[in-house]
Chain A
Amino acid sequence: MQDRIKYWKGIEELENTPEFAKLAHNEFPEFLPIGEGSGEKPSEGGKTHRRDFLKLLGFSVAAVSLASCEAPVRKAIPYLNKPVDVEPGTANWYATTYYLNGDYNSILVKTREARPIKIEPNPSSALTPLGTSSRAQAAVLSVYDNNRLRTPLLKGKEAKWEQVDKEITSRLGSVSGKVAFVSSTVISPSTKQLINEFGSRFGNFEHVVYDANSSSALLAANNGTVPGYDFSKANIIVGVNADFLGTWLAPVIFAKQYIINRKLSAEKKDMSRHYQFETIMSLTGANADIRVPIKPSDEFAIVSALHSAIVGGGAAGKVANIDEKALANAVKDLKANAGKALVVSGSNDPSVQAMVAAINNALGANGTTIDAASPYFVKQGNDAQMIRLINDMNNGSVGAVFFYNANPAYDHPLADKVVSGLKKVALKVSFAERIDETAALADIVAPDNNFLESWNDYEPKKGYLSLAQPVLSPIFTTRQMQDSLLTWSGNTTSYYEYIRNNWRKVITGDFNKGWEQAVHDGILQNGSSMLTVTNTFAPATIAASGLAKPASGAIEAVLYEKVSIGSGVEANNPWLQEMADPISKATWGNYVAMPRKMAEEMGLAQNDVVKVTMANGTAIELPVLVQPGQAQGTVSIAMGYGRNLDSMPVAKGIGANAFPIATVVNNSISYTSPVKIEKTGATSEIAQMQTHHTIMDRLVVQENTLVNYIKNPKEVTEYVRIATHDGPAKPSTISLWDDYEYKNHHWGMVVDLNSCIGCGACTISCQAENNIPVVGKAEVLMRREMHWMRIDRYYSAVEHEPKDYATMEDPAENPSVIFQPMMCQHCNHAPCETVCPVAATMHSSEGINQMAYNRCVGTRYCANNCPYKVRRFNWFAYANNDKFDYTMNNDLAKFVLNPDVTVRGRGVMEKCSFCVQRVQLGKLEAKRENRRPKDGEIVTACAQSCPTDAIVFGDMLDKESRISKILAREHGERAFHVLEELNVQPNVTYLTKIRNLA
């Protein structure tokens, strides 16, 4: 066992600044911060006076006595004509598909009384059977967004669909010039066909596809499609600025593949090795075994070096400024694992992508780690095509333009030209669900249905078909885009019939039977393909980089996608806004992430607001976040913020729009450009969910190397022993408490730190399942977020070898990252239970630490006594409160609440319940069928939504259950309890993370 690794959660903890020491001291403040939730400084304390108190007291007494006079009359309103398959109180599940900007998830939607309340992965899917992305989890809230358009708009005024249809048909009849249909990537075969059919009657029609976060160069280098990457077959993975676990292309599909070859057990003692060369500290880089920070301008040189070493057969050339050894090791490993290696790059430079394609070809990846027969279709955007259209619009040669899932007035680097060009277009139609930046400029807005209200088909990967069915009828007077197109083409069939007709080609045997099966399953995986993608790209060739080398010393800025917000389409979703970024743990807004050295040189500290001036003169002001691992000389800013729309009240005024960082270079979009940074003197606090707790060097997470694991698996985990008069003993041998006897079930959870990639989908899943309120930025700053589950992210400096002076000099330059999902540990000897004065929290006969909200009086003793800091206190009534106008303040948004879980009131404690409502329901179903529950039937929301199967939940008394087998196998090897020395005996077990260091 090497010396214990020192973990830290942020720069402030590493440096132990005076502020941090003060905060740590105030971890349990003695004052009662009663402020009005408006973010007033905690130090000011409450402002309530004695008289106010007396007034309130008197009023409450009066109110109570009045209220008790007569119980309100409540109504029970049954259906007039009950639909056959809706049973009140029973959930129905429908298979459908979530797809947005590459994020493809085959999903099951849980509906109660015909309203969707939860999204789960579809286990029948071959692509995403395990879990979903956090965005897919949050999508169920978007359908209840009150700010979606309620009717179509004609010149900004509410109109009827008949009026819109009449207007469009008449104006399309007399259209002169080009007709353009602008969309983001369309992976629906029927939609694509329909768009082409719609356009066929115009002389000059073009379907222009562009993506807010473009992969044009990758497509150009690979014949117009994304190569069929299969990370599960790769022993060596080299990523260059490709965040394939977080945001790049199809992260959920890739995460599932990636983790297959990362899982360890007694039977499988090897795992892939992952090198990541990147500028920002991405989710993927955080999971890499060897991570090398690089400047964006060095990207070309690194890929060239790899190219010349592997394709050219020579040694890796010298690349300035980077860890040569890591590069040499990568080359060595790649060469040694030909046929089992994969190189990916997120660059949008065609030369780089052409080299990467050549490298993969030389490594023999085609047919092994790249399924050449089955490429992905998740990105099809062609930068050049869109830029041409923008120029055409400005030339005045475009007569009509349609926008479908596209918002170029906001998310295109040439947004200004889009705005000016649109003024010259006679007919502008948007299908946006709300008045976004582009829809505001349109003559006609024909709002599309939400995906949960629509029929559709999808083909994310060749040969993998997927269906979407509506799970509720449209809430507003909206109409599906495809139905609108059919109407405007004079076609009277519905889009549903249209899809069915298309699917006759792929369903074999009795069509009706096959179709019903496909709708039921949500997928069709018989190998047939429907989507045709024509290669519209000029082939990429290996040439000198088109990017101008920035002047030395210039600060290079990178525009990147956040795991939660993406390109900003779902920015109005409060769950996603309050989701902690996997790395920075920041919520509600973007910021300038910069390395510590740069911050020191510029005399900046965290939260200092800086002015970032782009190459084209645009300037934005954002606070600084000191980001360990950020490449020297670079900053990164997330896209998707800085919205100023009334239709996005949640996102309005949060952060700044960083899209101007992106520039057009040689007809393709570059997401990096040099910027100037100036200090403004102002500060703006970033709401991080990180430094709220201190660990004080205690043994919380554990990790080790693969070499040690293979040598002796029994040595990789450190088990704390306590001193007794008989010598060192397991903490559990000495106890004040009696043990519980479990007869029926003993629920437990295993979290594999080796599998957890830290994506945070579980936290949103938990929020949706358990009616967890959104509290807003001010409250997060006050450390009052309500998430029952958090992903703790720890940095540590790993000395890759002894006497690694560079690392010792600045551990924050390139730290290792480890993620640890943390939720209530359901201790068998729970410290919270013993201190509750009213017995509101107690142990169940099935090992669950229960919380009775209506008994809780809010002393918060339990939270203070919890060593894991997992209890959350309701400082306010978050429901029906105008101050928290997020998810529980209007009737529509409340539809998303899980009717089986109480909405907690003010002043009570809450925490993870092991999804006891699911446990109870699972048991009841088993009892109704006169049997024991089957393993895997009862799972918590977090376990169900995990895309990498890192969380396993089950009955530890059932010897045949998966959890029992894992615990038996890992006992004494990787299984450990957090803070075992306390002898609280948690029912949650963690498995040590293993790194495959070079």
Chain B
Amino acid sequence: MISCILKPTHKIFLAFLLALTVTFGAQAQQASEQADVAAKGVEPGSTEGAETGTADPAIIDAGAALFKNNCAVCHSAGSDVIVGPGLKGVTSQRSESWLISWIKNSQALIQSGDEHAVAIYNEYNKQAMPSFAFSDDEIKSILAYIDAQANVAAATPTTVAGPEGAVPGQNVGTDAIGAVGGYLDIVLVVLIIVLIVLVITLLLITSLLKNYLNKNRELDETDKEVVNQRFDFSKIYKSKAVRTLVVLIFAVVLLDLAIDKTMGIGIQQGYAPKQPIAFSHKLHAGEHQIDCNYCHTTVYESKSASIPSANICMNCHSQIKKESPEIQKIYKAIERNKPIEWVRIHNLPDLSYFNHSQHTQVGGVECQTCHGPIQEMDVVYQYSPLTMGWCIDCHRETPLNTQGNQYYDNLVKLHEQSSKGAFTVASNGGTECSKCHY
């Protein structure tokens, strides 16, 4: 039987083939999974901006920035209570002039004995809202933003409300890689099936032909020998050429592995250390939708996003879930006057300078773009590789957030004169050494 003849060697060969396909497949799948996550991560943000309601988008943008930097610490634009009330629909509940005087100096309004002001002051445990030195126009822009947010929420009720201000198409790069990955998967699987069918067909044809020749034809000795010859596989693995080839392939694979591993030194992608307190971003940022800026207070203003100090935790946890053993750890830290020592997850090497505000405030990049679906993480892990290649890729592909920023006005004009391509970070010098290394 032909199958008998082929069996031992074929088995090895097939097993090798199978193994190969499986690993390739798995890798491709991994890549596509990652791309999926990336896509999901920005989903909420990317839907934003499409539906802005009635007001001028520029005003809303301005309002969004002001809201994010000043109001979001205590208020959500939806209906959740953070410290103060959610502001959804506030413009229909109160007159604009009332809101302006309240925002400028809430204490003055309370002292004037305004009925609504006193009511809201008492409702929120007599916690005073700080005064803000905004102009009337600025306050109007914030209100316009709140209205726009309400409309967005109404239009897409199912999306998770993430932080605002994402630029659509920001993740062109990762999306594209994801799409290509999926396509390759299908091609590969189809190819493998076709090949297997082909092998089976060929084997069937040979055995058929052999049977036919043996039964029906008068064959002389030499012919018979040809027809019934046993393929000597030992010749293959004993041949020098094959052996050299195998050794070579082995060496190349080993080398590739070694290079891969060495390049991976210091890359801590997926690093998810155990933290001293089992803080869940999924619970806080995901379920309760607390704005990132509420705890990471300097993320729009400073180089560092800052790990919240214990007093920020106490804003809520002086009231909420005081008995939980994890929360008790914060109480203990305060009692002992010893800060909480979190384990640092994102370790950028000292030789590179990174500034959060450049990316969040100026670039309008979502937190999730680099930190992944943080609102789904019970334990935070390092989502991105944080390698230079990863930084550069993004700088090459991401269009600059130039809208409404006078800094870029002339640059955009000059770029449009000289080039048809997108005005990316790289085309404004964003891949030069001294942008990050000094």
Q: Which residues of A contact B (CB under 8 A)?
A: 68, 71, 73-82, 87-90, 743-744, 840, 842, 844-846, 848, 850-855, 900-903, 913, 916-917, 920, 923-924, 926-928, 930-932
Q: Is the CB of B311 within 8 A of A80?
A: yes
Cβ contacts under 8 Å, B341 to chain A: 75-77
Q: How far is the CB of A846 from chain B (nearest CB, A)?
A: 7
Partner of B433, one of A82, A88, A850, A932: A850
Cβ contacts under 8 Å, B342 to chain A: 75-78
Q: How far is the CB of A807 from chain B (nearest CB, A)?
A: 48
Q: Is the CB of A930 within 8 A of B437?
A: no
Q: Give the complex CA separation of A844 and B437 in angstroms.
A: 12
Partner of A932, one of B309, B344, B407, B414: B407
Q: Is the CB of B437 within 8 A of A71?
A: no
The stretch from B168-176, B281-289, B331-339 touching chain A is B331-339
Q: Is the CB of B302 within 8 A of A89?
A: yes
Cβ contacts under 8 Å, B434 to chain A: 844, 848, 850-852, 913, 916, 920
Q: Is the CB of B406 within 8 A of A930?
A: yes
Q: Is the CB of A854 within 8 A of B351?
A: yes
Q: Is the CB of A87 within 8 A of B309?
A: no
Q: How far is the CB of B303 from chain A (nearest CB, A)?
A: 3
Q: Give the complex CA separation of A902 and B437 in angstroms.
A: 8
Q: Is the CB of B268 within 8 A of A78?
A: no
Sample 13 A-B pairs with CB under 8 A, ordered by A number: A68-B265, A73-B344, A74-B343, A75-B343, A76-B342, A76-B344, A78-B308, A80-B334, A89-B298, A89-B356, A842-B432, A916-B434, A930-B405
Q: How far is the CB of B63 from chain A (nearest CB, A)?
A: 14
B177: Cβ under 8 A from any A Cβ: no
Cβ contacts under 8 Å, B224 to chain A: none
Q: Is the CB of B347 within 8 A of A71?
A: yes
Partner of B333, one of A68, A80, A916, A928: A80
Partner of B298, one of A90, A744, A926: A90
Q: Is the CB of A902 within 8 A of B351?
A: yes
B186: Cβ under 8 A from any A Cβ: no
Q: Is the CB of B309 within 8 A of A71?
A: no
Q: With A71-B268, A89-B306, A928-B361 in contact, do A853 and B333 touch (Cβ < 8 Å)? A: no
B355: Cβ under 8 A from any A Cβ: yes
B404: Cβ under 8 A from any A Cβ: yes
B113: Cβ under 8 A from any A Cβ: no
**Chain B residue with Cβ nearest A932:** B407
Q: Is the CB of B357 within 8 A of A82?
A: no
Q: Is the CB of B407 within 8 A of A930?
A: yes
Q: A68-B262, A900-B353 are in contact. List 18 more A-B contacts (CB 8 A).
A: A74-B344, A77-B340, A78-B307, A80-B309, A80-B333, A82-B309, A87-B298, A88-B298, A89-B298, A743-B414, A744-B428, A845-B429, A850-B432, A851-B434, A854-B437, A924-B355, A928-B361, A930-B406
Q: Is the CB of B340 within 8 A of A89?
A: no
Q: Is the CB of A852 within 8 A of B333?
A: no
Q: Is the CB of A926 within 8 A of B407?
A: yes
Q: With A80-B333, A845-B429 in contact, do A88 and B407 touch (Cβ < 8 Å)? A: no
**Chain A residue with Cβ nearest B407:** A927
B273: Cβ under 8 A from any A Cβ: yes
Q: Give the complex CA separation of A432 and B312 in angstroms.
A: 42
| Among A68, A89, A853, A917, residue most surrounded by chain B Cβ atoms (within 10 Å) | A89
Q: Give the complex CA separation of A923 and B339 in angstroms.
A: 35
Q: With A844-B434, A913-B434 in contact, do A78 and B309 touch (Cβ < 8 Å)? A: yes
Q: Is the CB of B433 within 8 A of A78?
A: no
Could you tell me which residues of chain B, from 190 to 240, have a CB within 8 Å of some CB in chain A?
none
| Among B353, B437, B438, residue most surrounded by chain A Cβ atoms (within 10 Å) | B438
**Chain B residue with Cβ nearest A914:** B434
Q: How far is the CB of B237 from chain A (nearest CB, A)?
A: 35
Q: Is the CB of A927 within 8 A of B362?
A: yes
Q: Is the CB of A78 within 8 A of B438?
A: no
Q: Is the CB of A928 within 8 A of B273?
A: no
Q: Give the complex CA separation of A916 and B271 in angstroms.
A: 33
Q: Give the complex CA separation of A926 and B437 in angstroms.
A: 20
Q: Is the CB of B437 within 8 A of A744?
A: no
Cβ contacts under 8 Å, B306 to chain A: 78, 87-89
Could you tell me which residues of chain B, from 113 to 141, have a CB within 8 Å of some CB in chain A?
none
Q: Give the complex CA separation of A930 and B69 in angstroms.
A: 15
Q: With A90-B301, A844-B432, A850-B434 in contact, do A76 and B343 touch (Cβ < 8 Å)? A: yes
Cβ contacts under 8 Å, B437 to chain A: 850, 852-854, 902
B7: Cβ under 8 A from any A Cβ: no
Q: Is the CB of A80 within 8 A of B338?
A: yes
Q: How far is the CB of A933 from chain B (nearest CB, A)?
A: 8
Partner of A80, one of B301, B304, B339, B344: B339
Q: Is the CB of B357 within 8 A of A924?
A: yes
The prevalent SS among residues of A at the interface is loop
B260: Cβ under 8 A from any A Cβ: no
**Chain A residue with Cβ nearest B262:** A68
Q: How far is the CB of B197 from chain A (nearest CB, A)?
A: 46
Q: How far is the CB of A919 from chain B (nearest CB, A)?
A: 8
Q: Give the complex CA separation of A902 and B350 in angstroms.
A: 7
Q: How far is the CB of B18 from chain A (nearest CB, A)?
A: 33
Q: Is the CB of B405 within 8 A of A89?
A: no
**Chain B residue with Cβ nearest A741:** B418
Q: Give the complex CA separation of A846 and B428 in angstroms.
A: 10
Partner of A87, one of B262, B302, B312, B344: B302
Q: Give the complex CA separation of A79 and B341 in angstroms.
A: 10
Q: How far is the CB of A8 from chain B (nearest CB, A)?
A: 36
Q: Give the complex CA separation of A71 and B348 in angstroms.
A: 12
Q: Is the CB of A87 within 8 A of B301?
A: yes
Q: Is the CB of B433 within 8 A of A74?
A: no
Cβ contacts under 8 Å, A840 to chain B: 433
**Chain A residue with Cβ nearest B62:** A930
Partner of A88, one of B304, B338, B405: B304
Q: Is the CB of B339 within 8 A of A79?
A: yes
Q: Give the complex CA separation of A845 and B415 in angstroms.
A: 14
Q: Is the CB of A88 within 8 A of B302?
A: yes
**Chain A residue with Cβ nearest B430:** A845
B310: Cβ under 8 A from any A Cβ: yes
**Chain B residue with Cβ nearest A904:** B351
The 5 closest A-B pairs by CB, nearest first: A89-B303, A89-B304, A850-B434, A89-B302, A845-B429
Q: Is the CB of B310 within 8 A of A928?
A: no
Cβ contacts under 8 Å, A79 to chain B: 309-311, 339
Q: Give the complex CA separation of A930 and B435 in angstroms.
A: 19
Cβ contacts under 8 Å, B312 to chain A: 82
Q: Give the complex CA separation of A932 and B402 in angstroms.
A: 13
Q: How far is the CB of B277 from chain A (nearest CB, A)?
A: 12
Q: How far is the CB of A795 from chain B (nearest CB, A)?
A: 36
Q: Is the CB of A73 within 8 A of B343?
A: yes
**Chain A residue with Cβ nearest B266:** A71
**Chain A residue with Cβ nearest B310:** A80
Cβ contacts under 8 Å, A846 to chain B: 429
B411: Cβ under 8 A from any A Cβ: yes
Q: Is the CB of B438 within 8 A of A930?
A: no
B358: Cβ under 8 A from any A Cβ: yes
Q: Give the complex CA separation of A848 and B342 in angstroms.
A: 39
Q: Is the CB of A920 within 8 A of B435?
A: yes
Q: Give the complex CA separation of A82 and B339 in angstroms.
A: 11
Q: Give the complex CA separation of A88 and B299 in angstroms.
A: 10
Q: Is the CB of A931 within 8 A of B406?
A: yes
Q: Give the complex CA separation of A842 and B407 in angstroms.
A: 25
Cβ contacts under 8 Å, A926 to chain B: 407
Q: Give the complex CA separation of A626 and B391 in angstroms.
A: 56
| Among B344, B362, B415, residue most surrounded by chain A Cβ atoms (within 10 Å) | B362
Cβ contacts under 8 Å, A844 to chain B: 429, 432-434
CB 8 Å contact bits of B398-438 with A (1 = contact, 0 = none): 00000011110001001100000000000011001111011
Cβ contacts under 8 Å, A903 to chain B: 350
Q: How far is the CB of A486 from chain B (nearest CB, A)?
A: 29
Partner of B429, one of A77, A744, A924, A927: A744
Q: Give the complex CA separation of A901 and B334 in angstroms.
A: 34
Partner of B337, one of A68, A78, A80, A917: A80
| Among B338, B342, B351, B414, residue most surrounded by chain A Cβ atoms (within 10 Å) | B351
